[in-house]
Amino acid sequence: MTVAPFDIEQAIPRLRKVVEPFPPAVMFQLAAEGFGSLYEQLGSCIISIRTDDEVSGPVSRRLFAQARTPVPMVQLRVDEILDLIRDATFPDTKAAQIHALPVPKTAE
C-alpha cells in the first residue's frame, strides 16, 4: 500500500474550513482585544493551563484590569493575584507563578 505524501497546501484550507464554525481560542480573543503583549499572553497561558477557555478569558481580563505589565503585577501580593484568578484551576500555584514572572530591566 502506498501512502500519498502529506500536502500542507491542501491540509491548511481544509482545517480552516472545519474549524470555521468555532470561536477562536481564548488566547486569540484576548490578543484581538488588545491583550497581545508577550507578558499578557504568557500570563493568560499560565491561567489557561487545564482551565476551560470559558473561564480563562474572564479570569485573564479580571487580572489585567488590575495589572497588565510586570511592574504593577509584582506590586500585587500573591494573595491578591489569587483572589483575581480563583476561578482558574490550581489558582494557588498559578498565582505564585504569575507573581514570580521576571521583570525585564526595561519594564516601565
Own/partner long-range contacts of 62-71 (Cβ < 8 Å, ≥24 apart): 63/98, 64/35, 64/40, 68/35, 68/37, 68/39, 68/40, 69/37, 69/39, 69/107, 69/108, 70/39, 70/101, 70/102, 70/103, 70/104, 70/107, 70/108, 71/103, 71/107, 71/108
Segment 45-67 shows an average pLDDT of: 97
Q: From 1.10.287.130, 1.10.340.30, 3.40.50.2000, 1.20.1050.10, which CATH number describes the 27-99 domain?
A: 1.10.340.30
Can you give the pLDDT at residue 4?
86
Q: What is the pLDDT of residues 12-23, one digit of tens each?
A: 999 999 999 999
Q: What is the pLDDT of residue 61?
A: 98
- Work out the pLDDT band at 105, boundaries 50, 70, 90: confident
